[in-house]
Amino acid sequence: MSETLQYIGTQVKKLRIKKGLSREDLAAKSKITSNYLAQLERAEVNVSINKLDSLCQGLGLAVGDLFPTSNDVETKINSSIYKESIEEIVNIVCQLESERDISLILVLLKEMNKNKK
């Protein structure tokens, strides 16, 4: 199984779940079988550009949204994969009134990022 197929399958599954779609729902929207979608998510089949485009349309995304071009903040914020989550985090932080609470969140995020590496 190639890393590229595994990446695509993981991204499609993650986005499908995030959008609250069952495998059957996304398959129907994308005009593919749910069995094929399951195989794609497990990186067991090669995916054509046409099928990938259909899947992305079913998810309401552009194909390029599966492949971010950089890790800079602006790209992540504007990417449909991250935008809603980042906006929600910013809205929550903006509602906090305590500088201590904001500092604790910053410490937590830095610790999570450090543990990622």
The token pair at 56 is 């992305």
Tens digits of residue pLDDT in 49-99: 999 999 999 999 888 888 766 666 666 676 666 778 888 888 888 888 888
pLDDT of 25 > 70? The answer is: yes
In which residue ranges of the chain is CATH 1.10.260.40 found? 3-66
What average pLDDT does range 1-9 have in this prediction?
Answer: 87
pLDDT of 117 > 60? The answer is: no
Neighbours of 103 (CB within 10 A): 10
Q: Which CATH class is domain 3-66?
A: mainly alpha
| Backbone φ and ψ of 95, nearest 5° | -85, -15
Residue 75: predicted pLDDT: 64
Tens digits of residue pLDDT in 7-17: 899 999 999 99
CB 55 within 8 A of CB 26: yes
> How many alpha carbons fall within 13 Å on the CB side of residue 78?
11
Residue 73: predicted pLDDT: 67
